Amino acid sequence: MISIPLRYEIYLANLNPTIGGEIKKIRPVVVVSQNEMNRYLETIVICPLTTYNYSSYMAFSPTSEL
């Protein structure tokens, strides 16, 4: 039986082939698509993870303008 990736699980994924300056190696990724989507569609939405330590960052706060 094939296991279905669940939301927020982390996997190692081969991100080749790529276009332009995209990541070109095996990387850890987190599944961000909904479990129902993962179960019934052939496409799973993932987000590559990085260990790069950013020395500066921007803080965002929620606004009521949206």
In this predicted model, what pLDDT tens digit does every residue of 50-64 receive, in sequence order?
776 666 666 666 665
Is residue 26 very low, low, confident or very high in pLDDT (cuts 50, 70, 90)?
Answer: confident
Mean of the per-residue pLDDT values of the chain: 81
- pLDDT per position as a tens digit, 28-53: 899 999 999 999 998 899 998 877 66
Give the model's pLDDT for residue 27: 85
Confirm whether pTM is higher than 0.75.
no
**How high is the pLDDT of residue 22?**
62
Distances (CA, A) of 12 to 6, 8, 48, 55, 59: 14, 13, 9, 26, 29
